Amino acid sequence: MPLDFLGLFLEENPDILYAAMRPQTGGYNFMDYWRRQQGNVWGDYLGSLGRTALAGQEPNQSFTSYLTGYPWLQQWMGLGPEQRGERQQRFAPQLRWNL
């Protein structure tokens, strides 16, 4: 019974569920990116439910199962370096004159 209650609690509180299931390890940029992507991930989930319904099937996937299979790292690696907050290395470093 407690597990059913906890599952229901999490499904009814997607903000809490997302905060609990997003990646908790990694660099600052990785963590910050996923912290800011909650609305986009939720929109992707709703789109997935809509596509299932349009295909004539019952949209019964829970947000928990959607997040369990979410490709966190693949999505991150698909971003460009600047989107990931990485600085581009310069071809030639600045010239320093030591006088």
Whether this model's pTM surpasses 0.85? no
Q: How far apart are CA 24 and CA 29, in angstroms?
A: 12
pLDDT digits (tens, 9 = 90+) for 6-37: 888 988 999 999 999 999 888 889 999 999 99
Selected residue with higher pLDDT from 62 and 5: 62
Residue with structure tokens 């099937």? 57
User: Taking residues 74-85, what's their average pLDDT?
Assistant: 89
Terminal CA-to-CA distance of the chain, rounded, Å? Answer: 76
Confidence of residue 1 (pLDDT cuts 50, 70, 90): very low
Q: How far apart are CA 89 and CA 91, in angstroms?
A: 6
For residue 85, what are its two tokens?
Answer: 């907050």
Q: How far apart are CA 30 and CA 35, in angstroms?
A: 9
